[in-house]
Amino acid sequence: MEFVDRLLTCADCGDEFIFTAGEQLFFFDKQFKNDPKRCKPCKFKRASVATRPGAAPGTAVLSRTETRTQCSECGVETTVPFKPTQGRPVLCRQCFQRRQPQAAAAAVAVDLMAASDAAAPATVDQVTGRQL
């Protein structure tokens, strides 16, 4: 069987490319029924896309995603910029500030007066001690 170079049109970029006699012999040898649909650069592009490591694309998005969770102190629904570890308490912004009186002493006092929340005795002592 004689093979001659043929001109085919790439299905991806529409460029014409040569289906060489040697390649046809190869295809015939492998009993491939169909002509190649794409030129070499396009075939290469598709192959490199297909073999790209799958984990990479999602990582950047995931790290920016806020996880919806419940504050373990007051139970309010809040979001955290990380994935909460099972069993570890997650605090909403208010409770977090309440736990750090030095950082937001004024906010703590207001919160305590408004909510009269005695859930954190250590913090109450600190605040009252400071006010006395």
84 DSSP assignment: P
Least distance in Å: CB of 58 to Zn ion?
29
Selected binder of Zn ion within 5, 6, 9, 13 (CB under 5 A): 13
2/100 Cα distance (integer angstroms): 84
Select 54 or 81, whichever has its Cβ closest to Zn ion: 81
Q: Pattern of binders to Zn ion over 69-108, x per CB under 5 A?
A: --x-xx-x---------------x--x-------------
CB 130 within 8 A of CB 105: yes
Closest among 41, 47, 53, 51 to 17, alpha carbons compared? 41
Q: Does 125 engage in binding with Zn ion (CB under 5 A)?
A: no
Residue type, 19: F
Summarize as ranges the residues that interact with Zn ion (CB under 5 A): 10, 12-13, 39, 42, 71, 73-74, 76, 92, 95
